[in-house]
Amino acid sequence: MSTFADRIIAFNQQLEYTGTLPTGISIMNPFRDNDFALDASTRFYNKYYSDNHQRHLVLGINPGRFGSGMTGVAFTDPKRMLSKSQIPYTGPITHEPSSEYVYDMIEAFGGIAAFYQQFYIHSVCPLGFTITGPKGKEVNYNYYDTPELTKAVYPFIVENIKKQIAMGFETDVCFCFGTGKNENFLRKLNAEHRFFEQVVALEHPRFIMQYKSKTKQDYIAKYLKAFNAVVI
């Protein structure tokens, strides 16, 4: 019988966007763009998901360049991959504030093994996007940043949420990272497709670190209250 690890790794390996994108926007697929993300994520999932314990989905926006764009694991940057999970990582060492917050929250929950036995974090759109900024550098782009991009990737999003649910995750509650556009999109999507009985939205880790860092512990307490309500 396959484990969650087997199914998640297979899901990551098959991820490919074959549609068209608006001019100037590029797809970011860490599992095909480099070798180290697939290797690190495979080790990660084999370490924490080699079972069939019931879990709930947590959906962020889409992968970013310095977190899962490097490691292949949502909200896990290379620093956390090495220091918290002690998993070998051979790519560039980058820092993602969202990852810092998530791992502080995970520690408060009871640790990495305890948290990942209950939850699986990914994204509404499982692949990320970049656009060339005004200074000529590639910058992160979100699936909802323009109506044209949202429309282009909508079938891809629906297809891959279905695939993730089919891995065996609980559908009574889905947690959403983001109380603005990501929440609005996911609620509308869920009203149409009835993926989950309930969507519980929490402020996005990036928002907390950028604008509410002085009250970070209050947000961690809010996260823990929400997560502990569904602990199995």
Asked, for residue 16, whether it belongs to a domain, the answer is no
pTM: 0.95
Domain assignment of residue 212, given as a range: 4-8+27-46+54-228
Handedness of CA 150, 34, 161, 98 (dihedral sign): negative
Asked, for residue 88, whether it belongs to a domain, the answer is yes
Asked, for residue 159, whether it belongs to a domain, the answer is yes
Asked, for residue 95, whether it belongs to a domain, the answer is yes
pLDDT on residue 232? 79
Into how many domains does the chain fold? 1
- Mean pLDDT score, 77-91: 95
The string of pLDDT tens digits covering residues 34-65 is 889 999 999 999 999 999 999 999 999 999 98
pLDDT on residue 142? 96
CATH number for 101:
3.40.470.10
The H-assigned helical ranges of 51-146 are: 68-71, 78-83, 97-109, 112-116
pLDDT on residue 138? 86
Asked, for residue 129, whether it belongs to a domain, the answer is yes
- Mean pLDDT score, 89-105: 95
Above pLDDT 90, what percent of the chain? 94
Q: What confidence tier does 133 reach under pLDDT thresholds 50, 70, 90?
A: confident
Backbone φ and ψ for 218, nearest 5 degrees, come out as -65, -40
pLDDT on residue 19? 94
